[in-house]
Structure 1
């Protein structure tokens, strides 16, 4: 069963019965706010996530992610949640400092 753990949201755990779903969709379906300025189209980096564990459980990088990586807008441990599908297993992520909402209390 695919699982997402968001460390700096108090280790919020999201379990899904469905594999091969976009990470941002799984997060939003759980009722958790996650920034996305371009409407989940891969045209910005506001939905980026810092991957702590489980990078191997994600789909391959998409063309937008490769472009942002070549521009140094994505670090090696970052992915766009709107472009990444969780294929299997567990994914442990953090919300990037620049992408935090002011109305949410984050943990460290």
Structure 2
């Protein structure tokens, strides 16, 4: 069963009954606010996740992600949550400091 752990949101766990879902969809369906300035279309980097573990459980990088990577706007351990699909297994992620909401409490 696909699972997301968000480290700096007090290790919040999200489970999915179906593989192949976009990470941001799973996060939002579980009532967690997550930034996405372009409306989840892969046109910005505000929804990025810092991937700590489980990159093998995500879909390959999309053209949008590869472009942002080439431009230096995505690091090697970062993905766009609106583009990356969680196929199986577990990913452990963090919210980037720049993308934290002021109304949420974060751990660490």
Interval containing the TM-score (normalised by the shorter chain)? over 0.9
Q: How much has 1:106 moved relative to structure 2? A: 0.4
SS of the aligned residue for 1:9 comes to coil
SS of the aligned residue for 2:14 comes to strand
SS of the aligned residue for 1:52 comes to strand
Structure 2 match to 1:63:
63
Structure 2 match to 1:49:
49
Aligned counterparts of 2:25 and 2:9: Cα–Cα separation in 1: 17
Deviation track 1:39-60 (CA, whole Å, cap 9, x = no partner) reads: 0000000000000000010000
| Stretches of structure 1 lacking an aligned partner (at least 5 in a row) | none
Aligned counterparts of 2:14 and 2:38: Cα–Cα separation in 1: 24
Deviation track 1:33-86 (CA, whole Å, cap 9, x = no partner) reads: 000000000000000000000001000000000000000000000000000000
SS of the aligned residue for 2:8 comes to helix
Query: RMSD over aligned Cα, in angstroms?
Result: 0.3
Q: How many residues align?
A: 108
| Stretches of structure 2 lacking an aligned partner (at least 5 in a row) | none
TM, length-normalised to structure 1: 0.99
- Displaced runs of 4 or more, over 4 A: none
Listed as ranges, the matches of 1:1-108 within 5 Å are 1-108=1-108
